[in-house]
């Protein structure tokens, strides 16, 4: 397959997504919920087969334009206030802590915004916290209640739970804006906060919308693939079709985005209009908005486990697993040490934040499987509340323990397939048995199996003492152990936290972020007469002079997203598609590049301008004033010389 030469324009990327959405709507025969929080889609193969040319030439991703900073140039980045918006479980929050600590060491102020249940966990590592709405336990209990289905199958559950989930999503959206602009409500007297940059995972949903309102750069970071590709399917979508695998995979992402937007698009637009003062996002364009605008992504898994697809552009990085090492701070209890020293290394069994509908029955299954396999077991109670039975002598129960301490002392691991637990087991070089409950757990189970580091996943609904024992025996085969050890050696050489931060720095639009006179500060005001973007200090000093006091200065921000200004384009795009068929539309006029290197001049009454205007004033001493004016005279001289040269 080939990708067209040259950087795809925003228009071309948008047309690509429209074509694929239309193809999905034309070919879909049936959409139904699938066990494990996934969606089953059946396609009409006759129609799909006729459209294979779309996936062969679709320009999926952008080519970055302009200079990008490297990891070693972190000092070039002005001090930032960075918010991290994270919706999900503890495993979703955990990898962001090492990244936040790394950014903090570089001199940035970092706030992790997630569900209130994680406040103590985050603050224990010295990171600021802000509570987002929603309770991950409620979602887990919902999945148990519906038998692992995202969409309830019973009418009474549908009528009760869908409105409740939409209400929670509206609350989460509102709280993402508060996380970017308000002090921590849980800490009276907390310092004011306005985000200069946004890092987010996709389920937070408010990401690009708050970034647009602030005119701030956005970077998506996640532990599972969310960007369209031909290489593999979306983790939450299972496509039933005999069509070309590349087409099936590509459609799976388009289908998931479209179905998600149909479910929450009205909530997002209400959020934009009422909270952010932005225009609505028109039509189906909201389904692929992140991809169309080539938002930078950092995927937090090891390329040794899942390599970056060939059709992902340079705005997408695969940075490596991120680990929160806590072994040095852990003091193991005596009974655990005695158990570990009393025999062969055990098999770890634990399902993390996944609850069990029948903890007693699941416990009996685990104990029976360990006994049939003839191995010792360490069983973690977790949110499944395992261990509610008489414990056999070859089994020891544990609560939450640091994986980096525990797993090197085990023979194999059996878990739910969460990205963090999967990463910890692979780093320790352990054969891995995945028992997926829902979501991306099925995806990671398949990846582990295909890497030769474990058996085929055993879904929780298929788990019996016999299937567990069979999976354990498979995992302990010498060839499986060898594959796991080799994979662990590769994973241990990678630094996902360092590479994740480097990815964030590399994609920052520094040319529009930094003050023209003092690159160590962020530009907040743009002066038309001076042709400069200035920080608040430099703006004050330069325009204290009576000769310049009347200059027209306006608030500015580093990124002009213009997400909502799409309705006319969409009408043109659909006309082009209908009239030109296979032809590509003409290139649009030059404008915002794929790296969003064009800054935004803000309206005085905009939300962002008001926020930046409330920042505390900074006093200026004589030496600083003199240095700023010297730089100003140099910059003005350079501008005048350039103007004379262009006029010759």
Spatial contact of 434 and 441, defined as CB atoms under 8 Å apart: yes
Query: Is residue 516 domain-shared with residue 413, that is, in the same domain?
Result: no
Query: Is residue 165 domain-shared with residue 188, that is, in the same domain?
Result: yes
Query: Is residue 310 domain-shared with residue 343, that is, in the same domain?
Result: no
Query: Is residue 182 domain-shared with residue 283, that is, in the same domain?
Result: yes
Q: String of b and e for 279-289 (b: at least 16 CB within 10 Å)? A: bebbebbbbbb
More confident residue, 396 or 619: 396
Greatest mean pLDDT range, 66-80, 271-285, 305-319, 617-631: 305-319
Domain boundaries, position 443: 327-493
Read off the CATH number of the domain in which 217 is found.
3.40.50.2000
52 inside domain = no
Q: What is the pLDDT of residue 595?
A: 38
**Helix or strand run (H / E) with residue 81:** strand 81-85
67 inside domain = no
Q: What is the pLDDT of residue 586?
A: 39
Q: Is pLDDT of 295 > 90?
A: yes
Q: Which two tokens stand for residue 168?
A: 């929670």
Q: Is pLDDT of 37 > 80?
A: no
* Confidence class for position 612, pLDDT limits 50, 70, 90: confident
461 inside domain = yes
Q: Answer left, alpha or beta for residue 562, where phi above 0 means left and psi between -120 and 50 means alpha.
A: left
636 inside domain = yes
Q: Is pLDDT of 495 > 80?
A: yes
First to last CA, the chain: 49
Place of tokens 């290197």: 597
Q: Is pLDDT of 454 > 60?
A: yes
Q: What is the pLDDT of residue 66?
A: 40
What is the overall mean pLDDT for the chain? 84
Place of tokens 């025999």: 343
Q: What is the pLDDT of residue 35?
A: 60
* Confidence class for position 22, pLDDT limits 50, 70, 90: low
Q: String of b and e for 460-470 (b: at least 16 CB within 10 Å)? A: beebebebbbb
Q: State the Cα–Cα distance between residues 301 and 305, nearest whole angstrom.
A: 7
Q: State the Cα–Cα distance between residues 452 and 463, nearest whole angstrom.
A: 21
Helical H runs in 272-343? 289-292, 334-341
Task: Order the strands of the 532-534 sheet from edge to edge.
Answer: 532-534, 525-527, 553-557, 600-601
Q: What is the pLDDT of residue 451?
A: 95
Spell out the SS3 assignment of 106-166: CCCEEEEEEEHHHHHHHHCCCCEEEEECCCHHHHHHHHHHCCCCCCCCCHHHHHHHHHHHH
Helical H runs in 187-244? 207-214
Q: Which of 444, 465, 493 is the last residue of a domain?
A: 493
Q: Which of 493, 527, 543 is the last residue of a domain?
A: 493
The residue-averaged pLDDT of 476-485 equals: 97
Q: Which of 144, 228, 248, 232 has the alpha carbon at shortest distance from 446?
A: 232
Percent of the chain with pLDDT over 70: 77
Measured CA distances, 251 to 37, 230, 632 (Å): 18, 9, 54
Spatial contact of 217 and 558, defined as CB atoms under 8 Å apart: yes
- Tens-digit pLDDT profile for residues 52-82: 555 555 445 554 444 444 444 455 899 999 9
The residue-averaged pLDDT of 118-134 equals: 96
- Tens-digit pLDDT profile for residues 506-554: 999 999 999 999 999 999 999 989 999 999 999 999 999 899 999 999 9
Q: State the Cα–Cα distance between residues 113 and 175, nearest whole angstrom.
A: 9
Query: Is residue 293 domain-shared with residue 202, that is, in the same domain?
Result: yes
Q: Is pLDDT of 333 > 50?
A: yes
Measured CA distances, 514 to 120, 164, 526 (Å): 35, 44, 11
3-state helix, strand, coil in the chain (%, to 5): 45, 15, 40
Query: Is residue 598 domain-shared with residue 638, that is, in the same domain?
Result: yes
More confident residue, 43 or 384: 384
Query: Is residue 221 domain-shared with residue 282, that is, in the same domain?
Result: yes
Query: Is residue 285 domain-shared with residue 357, that is, in the same domain?
Result: no
171 inside domain = yes
Q: State the Cα–Cα distance between residues 23 and 147, nearest whole angstrom.
A: 32
Q: State the Cα–Cα distance between residues 110 and 133, nearest whole angstrom.
A: 19
Q: Which of 450, 468, 493 is the last residue of a domain?
A: 493
Q: What is the pLDDT of residue 603?
A: 81
Q: Is pLDDT of 602 > 90?
A: no
Query: Is residue 104 domain-shared with residue 210, that is, in the same domain?
Result: yes
* Confidence class for position 21, pLDDT limits 50, 70, 90: low
Q: Is pLDDT of 182 > 60?
A: yes
Four-point Cα dihedral 93, 91, 322, 487, nearest 10? -170
- Measured from the Cβ of residue 40, the count of other Cβ atoms closer than 10 Å reads 14
382 inside domain = yes
Query: Is residue 131 domain-shared with residue 277, that is, in the same domain?
Result: yes
482 inside domain = yes
430 inside domain = yes
Q: Which of 318, 337, 349 has the alpha carbon at shortest distance from 435?
A: 349
**Long-range contact set of residues 1-4: C-beta below 8 Å, sequence gap at least 24:** 1/55, 1/56, 1/230, 1/246, 1/310, 1/311, 2/56, 2/57, 3/59, 3/60, 3/311, 4/57, 4/59, 4/584
Query: Is residue 368 domain-shared with residue 485, that is, in the same domain?
Result: yes
Q: Which two tokens stand for residue 177?
A: 């804006």
Helical H runs in 325-439? 334-341, 359-373, 403-406, 419-427
Domain count of the fold of the chain:
3
- Tens-digit pLDDT profile for residues 373-385: 999 999 999 888 8
266 phi/psi in degrees, rounded to 5: -65, -35
Asked whether the CA dihedral 13, 15, 19, 21 is positive or negative, the reply is: positive
The 8-class DSSP code of residue 514 comes to: B
Query: Is residue 139 domain-shared with residue 183, that is, in the same domain?
Result: yes
């Amino acid at each position: 397959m080939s990708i067209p030469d040259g950087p795809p324009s925003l228009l071309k990327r948008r047309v690509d997504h429209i074509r694929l959405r239309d193809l999905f709507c034309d070919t879909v025969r049936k959409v139904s919920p699938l066990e494990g929080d996934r969606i089953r889609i059946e396609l009409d193969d006759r129609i799909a087969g006729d459209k294979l040319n779309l996936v062969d030439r679709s320009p999926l991703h952008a080519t970055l334009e302009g200079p990008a900073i490297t990891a070693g140039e972190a000092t070039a980045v002005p001090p930032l206030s960075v918010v991290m918006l994270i919706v999900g479980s503890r495993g979703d929050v955990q990898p962001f802590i090492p990244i936040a600590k790394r950014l903090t060491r570089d001199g940035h102020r970092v706030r992790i915004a997630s569900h209130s249940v994680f406040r103590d966990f985050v603050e224990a590592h010295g990171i600021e916290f802000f509570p987002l709405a929603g309770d991950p336990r409620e979602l887990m209990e919902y999945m148990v209640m519906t038998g692992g289905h995202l969409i309830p199958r019973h009418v009474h559950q549908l009528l009760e739970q869908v409105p409740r989930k939409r209400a929670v999503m509206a609350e989460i959206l509102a709280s993402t804006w508060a996380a970017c602009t308000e002090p921590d409500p849980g800490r009276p007297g907390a310092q004011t906060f306005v985000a200069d940059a946004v890092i987010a995972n996709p389920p937070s949903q408010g990401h690009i919308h708050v970034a647009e309102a602030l005119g701030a750069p956005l970077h998506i970071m996640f532990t599972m693939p969310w960007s369209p590709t031909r290489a593999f399917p979306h983790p939450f979508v299972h496509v039933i079709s005999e069509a070309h695998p590349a087409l099936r995979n590509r459609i799976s992402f388009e289908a998931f985005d479209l179905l998600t937007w149909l479910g929450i698009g009205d909530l997002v637009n209400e959020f934009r209009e009422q909270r952010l003062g932005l225009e609505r996002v028109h039509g189906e364009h909201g389904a692929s908005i992140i991809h169309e605008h080539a938002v930078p992504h950092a995927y937090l898994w090891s390329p040794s486990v899942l390599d970056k697809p060939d059709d992902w552009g340079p705005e997408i990085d695969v940075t490596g697993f991120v680990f929160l090492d806590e072994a040095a701070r852990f003091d193991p209890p005596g009974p655990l040490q005695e158990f570990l020293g009393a025999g062969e290394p055990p098999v770890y069994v634990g399902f993390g934040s996944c609850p069990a509908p029948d903890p007693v029955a699941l416990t009996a299954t685990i104990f029976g499987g360990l006994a049939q396999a003839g191995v010792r077991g360490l069983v973690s109670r977790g949110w499944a509340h395992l261990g509610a039975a008489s414990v056999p002598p070859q089994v020891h129960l544990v609560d939450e323990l640091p994986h980096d301490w525990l797993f090197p002392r085990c023979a194999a691991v059996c878990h739910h397939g969460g990205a963090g637990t999967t990463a910890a087991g692979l780093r320790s070089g352990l054969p891995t048995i995945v028992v997926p409950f829902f979501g991306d757990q099925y995806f990671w189970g398949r990846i582990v199996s295909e890497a030769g580091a474990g058996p085929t996943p055993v879904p929780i609904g298929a788990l019996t003492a016999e299937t567990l024992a069979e999976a354990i025996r498979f995992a302990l085969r010498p060839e499986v152990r060898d594959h796991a050890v080799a994979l662990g050696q590769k994973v241990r050489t990678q630094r996902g936290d360092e590479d994740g931060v480097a990815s964030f720095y590399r994609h920052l639009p520094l040319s529009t972020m930094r003050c023209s006179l003092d690159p160590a500060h962020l530009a907040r005001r743009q002066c038309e007469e001076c042709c400069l973007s200035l920080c608040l200090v430099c703006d004050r000093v330069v325009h204290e002079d009576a000769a310049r006091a009347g200059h027209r200065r306006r608030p500015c921000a580093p990124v002009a997203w213009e997400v909502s200004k799409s309705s006319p384009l969409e009408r043109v795009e659909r006309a082009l598609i209908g009239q030109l068929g296979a032809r590509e539309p003409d290139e649009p006029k030059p404008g915002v590049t794929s790296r969003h290197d064009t800054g935004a001049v803000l309206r005085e009454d905009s939300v962002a301008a008001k926020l930046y205007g409330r920042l505390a004033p900074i006093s200026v001493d004589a030496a600083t004033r003199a240095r700023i004016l010297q730089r100003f005279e140099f910059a003005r001289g350079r501008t005048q010389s350039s103007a004379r040269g262009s006029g010759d």
